[in-house]
Structure 1
Amino acid sequence: MKTKFSSLFCLYLVGAALLAAPARVKAQSVSNETYAELPDPKPVDHSSWTALKPGTYISFADKGIRYAKNSAPQLAIVKNWAAKAWKGDKVQTEFLMWTTAPVKKLNFEYAPLQDGKGHTITANNIKANFVRYVITDELSGGSGCGIPKGLDSSLVADVIDNQTSIAVSANTVQPVWLSVVLPREAIAGSYNGTIKVKDGSNTIGELKYKVSVLNRALPQVKDWKFRLDLWQNPYSVARVYGVKPWSAKHMEIMKPYMQMLANGGQKTITATIIADPWNGQTYDIYDSMIKWTKKKNGSWTYDYTNFDKWVSYMSALGINKLINCYSMIPWNLKFYYDDELTGKTTFITAEPGSAEYAAHWKPMLANFAKHLKQKGWFGKTTIAMDERPMEAMQKAIAVIKSADKDFKISLAGNYHPQIQKDIFDYCIASGQVITDEVLQARKAGGLNTTYYTCCTEAYPNTFTFSPPAESAWLGLYAANKGFDGYLRWAYNCWSKNPLQDTRFGSWSAGDAFLVYPRLRSSVRYELLIAGIRDYEKIQVLRNEFQRKNQTDKLDQLNKLLKDFEIDRLKTGNAKEMVTHAEQVLNAF
């Protein structure tokens, strides 16, 4: 998965107990109703509450700040909020309710947005969701890889819940995520709205807000240029919901999760063509979507049933630009298959460059190419590898091209100039340097170049303890550097109890997933997509300024983006950078 070479040894240790054929994890039931958060590991600041006049407080807050659950926030009460947006855009903010007395049934009532001229944005476009608290941890030695047990932990607000009401205890802070989707057909103008905060049927407060719809429009999601690649784990969904992988029920349950991903601009299907390509790094181990069988006479057959089902399913949801197939170079170099002679699942161990490796892969790849061409998928399929050394990649590339010279290849890992022309879909580690000349040449040649962050980076990142704005910062960084998009290794590799505790294994909390069970989004995911919308605005503006020869505006846009360099980013200042960028983008 997503770790750099410096941390490989600790990751191999994580998977050491999982070197046998992939195991099945016992199903876990997750209630669709509200659930209890874990206690705060940190002491409660009682003095912050005793200093307050008893009562309930409601105020808009800063979505870039993670407010503590058990300490009264130190902020001035703000009852009004204003935002600007393009047509087809989405605006988001946060407000807080904190109380010295229990609130039995916190809920909301909001009316349509009105511009005073007869134009309306319906209440269906408005959502107010509770932000729930999860356990997080911290970095160890400046990295989130190979972290030891016993790190300081705390509660942070991240889960965007889908419940319509919730009970709030006394001396508790309850954040709420407010979002408004602007229809593409909206009439430009200023729209006013209110949200009533209620305890049951009793109104306990009211907030007012204004959204100014600008006379610009975002492209439809299907036309977004940004190549988002968040790896999907269908096996995690099957375990959490207790259903058989690839059953009709499994496919039904996964649909809204994958639709949410498609709505965020996801372009790539994550397919596994061998079992356990990442040596047991996830709570739910990836199985092979292709069944390899060695016949009694020594020949091979390949069953593509689940692969075809997955690709067709995802394509129908609009995720259809690439099919990245992992991996010809698994982390443990083990290749599992069913042996018809023994009636058992077994494996071979083979290194790239060996005769055994070529003999195992070349027939399969030739067969796979034929199957993909029959399905009409060959042109958008890549044979994908993850953080493999250049020498191993060169040997694998030779085998791939010997099976079919037109196979596309994908690599997420360190940048190797010697092989970059062979890599159709190259995702480089965020700390790697690729020249603008190479980037432009790759773009001109129709090759994709993206970047990723993983557990290695202290910042920018999407851990549950990362400053929330860093998620949005990622899209603006891609725009500055000329990358086509961004990759992260885990959309939904859920841990044992993800709704309460985001820690997992030897990785920093939140590293393994960006969304939560029962179709719950997160602050991190919402802001990641917000940054992608900013990327799309930049493409629209840049094209317009170039077409109209508005060099002054183009220079202003380029100057804005130049600030988005990792060496200029410090923990905590992403919020100011992103806020300023959004103000400028909405002012053109």
Structure 2
Amino acid sequence: MSGARGETVSGQAVFRTEIDTGSAAVSISDLRQRGSTVTIPAGAVKLQWVRYIDITRNTAGVPLDELTAKAPASIPDPYWEDDTIPVKADQAQPIWIEIHVPRDARPGDYEGKLAVTSDGKELSLPVSLHVWSFEMPAERHLFVANWWSFPGRGFEDRASEYWDLLARFSEFLVQHRQTDLSAGIGMITESGDATKGFTHDTSRLERYADVVFKAGIRQIHLHSVGHRTAGILDPLSQIGPDEANLRRLSALEKVIQRRGWQQRFAVSIVDEPFIWYEDSYADTVDLVHKAAPSVRVIEAVEAEYLGKIDIYVPKLSHLNLWYPRFDEIRRQGAELWFYVCCHPLGRYPNRFLDQSLLKARVLFWINYLYDLDGYLHWGLNHFAGDPYTEEGISKGLPQGDRAVVYPGRNGLLGSLRFSAQRDGLQDFEYLWVLEDQLRKTKDRIGADAFWLDPRQRPLELCRRVIWSFHDYTRDPAVLLDTRRAIAEEIEALQASPLLVVQTSPPEGTVIPAGPRHVNVRGLVPPGAKVTINGKPVPSVRPSGYFRHVCFMADDTPTITIAAEHEGKTTATTRTFRLTD
């Protein structure tokens, strides 16, 4: 395993026994840095047995080769709350490992031991962790919301603990890098009438906001301030505002101004407005902005001309089909997110229970590839029965669409899919860190780095994993190898000698015969010697800027660039796809 300082690093082990055991317990030692006495304490590692969900059907509309198992089957997802569990003979029993790397951890290689004790016997495996020298940003650079039912099933009789549960649940979500959560506009209560006037009590919503903002939540989504005049798929249906909710928004605007909560609230009008709502919906957006200028409108949309929405959230498949229009909306100043839910199906990535965890993780590589601002899913914990059953997490919908966390005795429990989501968000941050470091290098060099696009190299690496909204690797090793390559490039920017390279066209481009002409630009320390494919680059400016042209032969798809300075050498490569 490997991770940055401040990152939660995931891994998995599997325990199997030849006989039934009523009591299997798992433990881990301190992780000791190789060659020193420095440790990451065992207390920084969370070990969780993984529980199975039995399914009787597969998600419809997904090709069989995109499923992890054909129903009927048992699929691992929720975590057990107990440290000790029974294990049946010949059952593959996963153990999920989460190492919370301290922010002050010393970079390097660490080693420890994972042990399972069962029926008085102990089995053990070595555990190794490489800690990178850079930090996982504490600030989350992607907006993320999984709308919830709070406090939700499993906590119905805990009303006296409402505020404590709210704090614990919010902290749990923040630990998984979620930024936003949902609430009802009805938390603002209204009294009075049109004759005598209306008054509003905002105290409950204010307390709610105080608790979740303290936990690290950035924005609250309020539902919903509008209504349809007919069914969602009725072409004659229109959208109109609920007048009481517009008054509630006006009351909220006063709170925002008094509390300094600008950019902390967003509101939905109606979920998933279709094309025949465009005019009436746009008019309602204007009324919302008039009532509460500081409250942004966010909507999961089924059409692309819905007025001055602040945060457009098209379904992933719609974003793919209508991308030019949504890109135009973004250039005009709106935020652009995407959402998945019971759709899209087919070969699109999603977080269905019976699909590979890679799909849940790769969603956030899409955010980086297209420079999208956020991600939304409706179902954090909307159970329809026993949460630990197929019915509970899937009734009437694709497998697992209703929930991605589970209720424990004193709080929410995670799952393999929720951990995969967090891992994907951390992947996004790796790409962000590399871009940020390149931008700082560009700023430091100044005029002679005019050519450097800080996003180009992260995008080249991102495209090793994903190529479009629906084309991506299915091989976890490709994703993990790319992640390691990103980390190594981040560290190389702090190493000596510095070597920053950018090619035109970008790495990975298909280059037909013609001639094949690739321009190479780069930065090295002043006085460094540069070679490209073993041949010296004749001139390097005092700033360290160099440039060169490569004519690529049919049998040479790779360009090797090396810098030598003060007895040390750094080298890198760029590879292209050559065709005739």
Taking structure 1 as the reference length, what is the TM-score of the superposition?
0.71
> 1:329 pairs with 195, 206, 226, which one?
226
Q: Percent identity?
A: 19
1:267-291 residue CA offsets vs partner (Å, 9 max, x unmatched): 2231211xxxxxxxxxxxxxx3233
Aligned to 1:267: 179
Amino acid at match of 2:144: L
Counterpart in the other structure of 2:529: none
Distance 1:365 1:178, change over 3 A: closer
Select which of 284, 288, 298 maps to 1:410: 298
Which among 339, 342, 347 is matched to residue 452 of structure 1? Answer: 339
Residue by residue over 1:420-451, the C-alpha shift from the partner in whole angstroms, topping out at 9 and shown as x without a partner, is: xx222222211214658975984794x43211
How far is 1:417 from its partner? 4.7
Q: Which has the higher contact order (CA 8 A, sep 6+)?
A: 1
Measure how far apart 1:480 and its partner are. 0.7
Higher strand proportion:
2
Q: Which residue of 2 aligns with 1:427?
A: 313
Q: 1: CA distance between counterparts of 2:453 and 2:119?
A: 55
Mean Cα deviation higher: 409-418 or 260-269: 409-418
Match of 1:316 in 2: 214
- Are 1:172 and 2:87 counterparts? no
* Correspondence for 1:388: 273
1:582 aligns with 2:497: no
Q: Pick closer, same or farther for the CA change 1:188–1:408 going to 2, 3 Å.
A: same
User: Residue 162 in 1 paired to residue 59 in 2?
Assistant: no
TM-aligned CA distance change 1:438 to 1:510, over 3 Å: closer
Deviation of the 1:96 alpha carbon: 1.2
User: Is residue 361–residue 399 contact of structure 1 (8 Å, CA) maintained in 2?
Assistant: no
How far off is 1:88 after superposition? Answer: 1.3
Q: 1:443 to 1:491 in 2, by over 3 A?
A: farther
8 A contact 1:87–1:215 mirrored in 2: yes
The reply on whether 1:401 has 2:285 as its aligned counterpart is no
CA distance in 1, matches of 2:476, 2:379: 24
Tell whether the 8 Å contact from 1:105 to 1:166 is kept in structure 2 after alignment.
yes
Q: Could you tell me whether the CA contact under 8 Å between 1:133 and 1:500 is conserved in 2?
A: no
Amino acid at match of 2:458: L
> Per the alignment, in what secondary structure is the counterpart of residue 154 of structure 2?
helix
| Alignment-mate amino acid for residue 126 of structure 2 | K
Judged with a 3 Å threshold, the aligned counterparts in structure 2 of structure 1 residues 376 and 503 are, in CA distance, closer, same or farther, namely same
1:217 to 117, 123, 135: 135
Equivalent runs, 1:58-457 vs 2, <5 Å:
83-115=1-33, 116-136=35-55, 137-142=57-62, 152-203=71-122, 205-220=123-138, 223-236=139-152, 239-243=153-157, 247-273=159-185, 288-293=186-191, 295=193, 297=195, 299-319=197-217, 321-330=218-227, 352-353=239-240, 357=241, 359-385=243-269, 386-389=271-274, 390-414=278-302, 416-417=304-305, 419=307, 422-431=308-317, 432-433=319-320, 439=327, 442=330, 445=333, 447-457=334-344
Q: How far apart are the structure 1 equivalents of 2:440 and 2:267?
A: 38
CA distance in structure 1 between the partners assigned to 2:406 and 2:344 by the alignment: 23
Q: Secondary structure at the match of 1:99?
A: coil
Task: Report what 2:431 is aligned to.
Answer: 538
Q: TM-score, normalising length from structure 2? A: 0.72
Which residue of structure 1 aligns with residue 367 of structure 2?
478
Q: Distance in 1 between matches of 2:11 and 2:246?
A: 53
RMSD between aligned residues: 3.1
1:585 partner amino acid: I
> Which amino acid counterpart does residue 28 of structure 2 have in structure 1?
Y
Matched, 1:520 2:413: yes
Matched-pair contact (CA < 8 Å) for 2:265–2:296: yes
In the TM superposition, residue 86 of structure 1 has moved relative to its aligned partner by: 1.3
Larger radius of gyration: 2
Could you tell me whether the CA contact under 8 Å between 2:166 and 2:212 is conserved in 1? no
The separation in 2 between residues aligned to 1:182 and 1:374, in whole angstroms, is 39
> Residues 441 and 290 from structure 1, CA distance in 2 versus in 1: closer, same or farther, beyond 3 angstroms?
closer
Deviations 1:27-77 (A, max 9, x none): xxxxxxxxxxxxxxxxxxxxxxxxxxxxxxxxxxxxxxxxxxxxxxxxxxx
1:569 to 467, 471, 491: 471
Q: Distance in 1 between matches of 2:242 and 2:341?
A: 31
1:294-319 CA-to-partner distances (Å, cap 9, x unmatched) read 54957444333432232122112111
Q: CA deviation at 1:573?
A: 0.9
Aligned residues: 456
SS at structure 2 position matched to 1:528: helix
Distance 1:392 1:522, change over 3 A: farther
User: Structure 2: which amino acid aligns with 1:376?
Assistant: G
What is the distance in 2 between the residues matched to 1:332 and 1:158?
Answer: 40
- SS of the residue 1:85 aligns to: strand
Instruction: String of CA shifts for 1:242-274, please: whole Å, max 9, x gaps.
Output: 326xx441222343222110112222231211x
2:239 is paired with a residue whose SS is coil
Query: Equivalents in 2 of 1:415, 1:581: separation in Å?
Result: 35
* 1:72 alignment counterpart: none
Deviation at 1:292, TM superposition (A): 3.9
**Aligned 1:7-86 pairs, distance under 5 A:** 83-86=1-4
The separation in 2 between residues aligned to 1:483 and 1:567, in whole angstroms, is 12
Unaligned runs of 5+ in 1: 1-82, 144-150, 274-287, 335-349
